Amino acid sequence: MQLDLSGKVVLVTGAARGIGAAIADAFRAEGCTVVRLDLASDGFPADPDVDLVCDVRDSEATRALAADVERRFGRIDVLVNNAGILAEGLLESMGDDAWDRSFDVNVGGVFRMCKAVIPAMQRQRSGRIINAASFAAIVPSVGSGAYAASKAAVVQLTRVLASELGPYGITVNAYAPGMVPTAMNGFAEMPQAAQDRLLDTLSLRRWETPQDVAQLLVFLASDAAAYLTGALLDISGGKLATQMPQRAYELAAEAPTA
Ligand code: NAD
């Protein structure tokens, strides 16, 4: 399979930590020039050449940033819209602010970043846009109303963009991770019983790693995925596959060993 991405210019939003940092590392390992975007923080920017402060809620900033990247690197081949926030709470008591922020970052951020890079990709007649959705876009959890609704919106935005950009040779896809312990969710800090309850919802019954996600994105950006567009790729370790997958583990535990 041909996964040669060397020389591609890749933008990754929310790349200072978590899954985004691993995505940036994976593309760098493939020989890409990776521009990491995030809000300013203690550790960011770390490399002033390729780390750019950008709030995806800011139209003007995203437009200026895309123009700057195209001027400096000559093109924009891949945009990964990874930046996202999780505002948890029951809908009955959720404030307007948490709801609005969820949509502003998770959906508005994707919309604004896409608008910013589309002119360059249209001129090139090529490009890959890859959007972070979530399993919650398909099967939401109690207390995830704003997050789940915003991620479902990302999936539909992806499909519409895929059709609008097909004539320019630009593909647009979304992916749905399952449960990756990061600062966003604190899974790894939960009591063991709570962790086990979550792990019991997975066919593969282990936490997802940021690298599990990053490897899918390398594939999506490669020539091997040239005919994939408008899709939602499930990379949830089987969270969306069956009910009660732990039953298989009970049966496997009873099976004779060699
Ligand atoms: P994280 O909180 O560790 O990282 C998110 C990054 O986005 C941070 O660096 C943050 O500063 C940045 N960000 C937030 N708001 C921003 C803004 N306005 N402008 C620019 N950058 C901004 O989260 P993560 O767990 O690494 O999640 C990454 C993506 O994957 C998110 O879109 C999330 O919804 C999605 N996802 C995560 C999981 C999981 O289990 N961790 C599951 C499904 C989907």
Give pLDDT, residue 23: 98
- Does the pTM exceed 0.85? yes
* Averaged pLDDT, groups of 10, the chain, 258 residues long: 90 98 98 98 96 98 97 98 97 97 98 98 98 98 97 98 98 98 96 97 98 98 97 98 95 91
Give pLDDT, residue 258: 80
Kindly list the protein residues whose Cβ atom lies closer than 6 A to any atom of ligand 1.
13-14, 16-20, 38-39, 55-57, 82-85, 105, 109, 132, 134, 177, 179-180, 182-185
How close is the Cα of 242 to the center of ligand 1, in Å?
26
Catalytic one of 147, 168, 175, 227 = 147
Residue nearest to atom 35 of ligand 1 (CA): 132
CA 213 to ligand 1: nearest atom? 30
User: Tens of pLDDT along 228-237?
Assistant: 999 999 999 9
User: Tens of pLDDT along 92-104?
Assistant: 999 999 999 999 9
Give pLDDT, residue 257: 87
Give exposure, 21-51, as e/b (b: 16+ Cβ within 10 Å).
Answer: bbbbbbbeebebbbbbbbeeeeebbeeeebb
Give pLDDT, residue 108: 98
Pocket test for ligand 1, best of 12, 19, 38, 135 (most atoms within 8 A of CB): 19
C-alpha gyration radius of the chain:
19
147 in catalytic set: yes
